[in-house]
């Protein structure tokens, strides 16, 4: 089994907003939600720490998420920066508590990264030993950063990547559903990220904010959960021009398994996976597209976003839990990818960006 580094999981959102105990099994969580209908995906969750271990997902990027964008976003949206900050701090403390319980361990520097990779050098043995799942802390949408000075405080507690936008009009960047560049204060925010060495996650940025941010920011870049506009024509995806620019910056794009971003023609809230026959293998179209542009397999990885506000009702038909991401190995092998290519896609590419950022 190959180690998977999943670079986008909203674990604390599931725990604190939707009251899911991710230390339970997926089946136990589903049973606890039987009959609930307050949000889509109840009883259809796909992620738990147990299933991550079973699937060799020993390392992830775990998010904080809490914004105050306008119009109000579909998830994690509050009325003020102070409220959003308070929510993200609760999420941070939740992760730290999981560390105290031995369920997770935070990765903040190269020494911690190398020590954790040694523990997970044999993912089967690590899973059997119930080894802690490692996480790098990221912030999805920067509205909760009350003032730019708060970035230094966030760096101190271990925040290592930020996606400045989510949906809508953010305080420091516009979301992918908007037209325009960085708002007032956005350029200074990006410069401060660069000064601190916080990785720039370009996912969710409007096209204008994307290009302006990359002009300003000179450090390590990734797109944690972004697919290809050439395959699914939507502003949430990346154009070939954007993909080429990311490749020039030695960035990596994380393939996302939210099905409306995997195949064309999906109507959110109406289409169901069984209507389309969408499978895990469909992500191969996006992976292939990036690799064809790059001329190699060095710029794509996994940023699944599983349970990021959805469950099995918006996942591939052959995905029951996050552990099924391991089936991607045979899918890629069938498309002609070598063992080295697959290892790069599963974890080495995103590790390269981390090492660049922390060297």
pLDDT value, residue 229: 98
**Mean pLDDT on 203-209:** 98
Cβ–Cβ contacts within 10 Å for residue 257, how many? 30
pLDDT for the residue numbered 203: 98
157-183 mean pLDDT: 97
pLDDT score, position 71: 87
| pLDDT bucket at 185, cuts 50 / 70 / 90 | very high
* In the chain, % of residues over pLDDT 90: 95
Give the tens place of pLDDT for each residue, 289-347.
999 999 999 999 999 999 998 999 999 999 999 999 999 999 999 999 999 999 999 99
What is the residue-averaged pLDDT of the chain? 97
pLDDT-based confidence at residue 81 (cuts at 50, 70, 90):
very high
Phi/psi at 194 (5° precision): -60, -45
- Give residue 145's pLDDT band: very low, low, confident or very high (50, 70, 90): very high
pLDDT in tens, 19-37: 999 999 999 999 999 999 9
Grade residue 39 by pLDDT with cuts at 50, 70 and 90.
confident
Q: Distance (Å, rounded) from C-alpha 311 to C-alpha 217?
A: 35
Backbone phi, psi, residue 205, to 5°: -70, 140
- pLDDT reported for residue 131: 98
Q: What is the pLDDT of residue 76?
A: 84
CA 80, CA 101: separation in Å to the nearest integer? 32
Q: What is the pLDDT of residues 45-78, one digit of tens each?
A: 999 999 999 999 999 999 999 999 988 877 888 9
Q: DSSP for 260-313?
A: GGTSTT--TTT--HHHHT--GGGHHHHHHHHHHHHTSSSSEEE---TTSS--GG
State pTM to two decimals.
0.97
* 268: confidence class by pLDDT, cuts 50, 70, 90: confident
Q: What superfamily would CATH give domain 5-358? A: Metal-dependent hydrolases (3.20.20.140)
């Amino acid at each position: 089994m190959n180690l998977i580094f999943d670079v986008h999981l909203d674990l604390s959102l599931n725990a604190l907003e939707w009251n899911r105990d991710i230390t339970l099994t997926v089946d136990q969580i589903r049973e606890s939600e039987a009959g609930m209908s307050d949000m889509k995906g109840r009883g259809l969750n796909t992620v738990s720490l147990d299933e991550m271990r079973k699937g060799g997902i020993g390392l992830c990027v775990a998010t904080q998420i809490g914004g105050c964008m306008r119009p109000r976003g579909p998830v994690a949206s509050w009325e003020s920066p102070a409220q959003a900050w308070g929510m993200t701090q609760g999420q941070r403390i939740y992760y730290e508590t999981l560390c105290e319980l031995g369920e997770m361990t935070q990765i903040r520097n190269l020494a911690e990264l190398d020590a954790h990779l040694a523990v997970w050098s044999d993912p089967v043995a690590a899973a059997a030993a119930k080894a802690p799942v490692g996480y790098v802390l990221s912030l999805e949408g920067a509205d909760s950063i009350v003032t730019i000075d708060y970035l230094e405080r966030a760096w101190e507690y271990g925040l290592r990547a930020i996606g400045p936008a989510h949906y809508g009009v953010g305080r420091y960047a516009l979301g992918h559903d908007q037209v325009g560049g960085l708002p007032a204060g956005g350029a200074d925010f990006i410069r401060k990220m660069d000064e601190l060495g916080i990785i720039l996650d370009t996912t969710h940025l409007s096209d204008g904010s994307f290009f302006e941010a990359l002009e300003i920011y000179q450090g390590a870049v990734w797109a944690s959960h972004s697919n290809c506009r050439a395959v699914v024509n939507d502003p949430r995806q990346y154009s070939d021009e954007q993909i080429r620019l990311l490749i020039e910056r030695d960035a990596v794009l994380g393939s996302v398994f939210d099905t409306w971003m995997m195949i064309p023609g999906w109507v959110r809230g109406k289409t169901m996976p069984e209507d389309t026959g969408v499978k895990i293998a469909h992500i191969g179209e996006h992976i292939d597209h990036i690799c064809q542009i790059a001329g190699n397999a060095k710029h794509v990885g996994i940023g699944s976003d599983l349970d990021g506000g959805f469950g099995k009702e918006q996942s591939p038909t052959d995905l029951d839990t996050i552990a099924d991401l391991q089936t991607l190995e045979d899918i890629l092998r069938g498309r002609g990818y070598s063992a080295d290519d697959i290892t790069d896609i599963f974890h080495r590419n995103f590790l390269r960006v981390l090492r660049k950022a922390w060297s």
